[in-house]
Amino acid sequence: MRNRYVVCYDIANQKRWRQVYRIMRGFGDAVQYSVFCCDLSPSERMLMIMALTEVMNQREDRVMVVDIGPADGRGKACIEALGKPLAPNSSERITVVV
């Protein structure tokens, strides 16, 4: 069972920011700058956290992972955006090797 996660990050260094962005593209869809929507199994969630932890500077950077529920249930319907529509879902995925 997959849950939907909203992942937001605040990365202090541009090089690390690009690395985090590349990692996140492998797990979900960008919905705003530094915000991704990811449908992940528990093991995929752990892989994502491990990959992010390797790149982050724990003293300077912050990543927030919010579980909003089952990807085919509450998680699918509880994101609301105002203004410009969210970007269409990208089917392109990048494999992240940890």
Phi, psi of 29 (to 5 degrees): -110, 135
DSSP states along 40-75: E-HHHHHHHHHHHHHH--TTT-EEEEEEEEETTTHH
- Hey, what amino acid is at 86? L
Q: Cα Rg for the chain, rounded, in angstroms?
A: 13
Task: Say whether 10 counts as a known binding-site residue.
Answer: yes
Asked if 74 and 16 touch (Cβ cutoff 8 Å), the reply is: no
Known binding-site positions: 10
Known binding-site positions for Mg(2+): 10
